Amino acid sequence: MAKQKRQQPPDPDLLTRLWNDLVVAWRLAFDRRVSGTVKLIPLAMVAYILSPIDLIPDIFLPFGVVDDLSALLIGLQLFIHSAPPEVVAEYRRRFSRRGQRGKINPGEPADEPRIIEGEYEVRDKRD
């Protein structure tokens, strides 16, 4: 018998992954290192979702919504994979280091820790 490869289970928190991808895509949309043609992908995705022309009309509720949701997921992944890999890696690294609730400062270097140097002086309160 051949050994079967054991695959890792997918990330159980799909919504967290989706949120992380949305945040990375938002940052990439405003990054100057991403070309203008790549930035057309999210615009086309939003235009498809908002347009009345769909592959499956929204009248058929569960299937029409799945159509729009799949357009969102495919467009999001296509945009992230079309952006320069080093820029995507930089934003993913910053986002994972700061945590999901932390803000990303585009001007801050990705690999350097923030260090604040200073001096202090202890003063006694004397009236």
pLDDT digits (tens, 9 = 90+) for 79-92: 999 999 999 999 98
What are the tens digits of pLDDT across the range 7-60?
655 556 788 888 889 999 999 999 999 999 999 999 999 998 888 787 777 677
Q: What is the pTM of this model?
A: 0.62
- Residue 42 · residue 75 · CB < 8 Å: yes
Can you give the residue ranges of every domain in the chain?
17-98
Write down the residue that tokens 């495919």 correspond to. Answer: 74
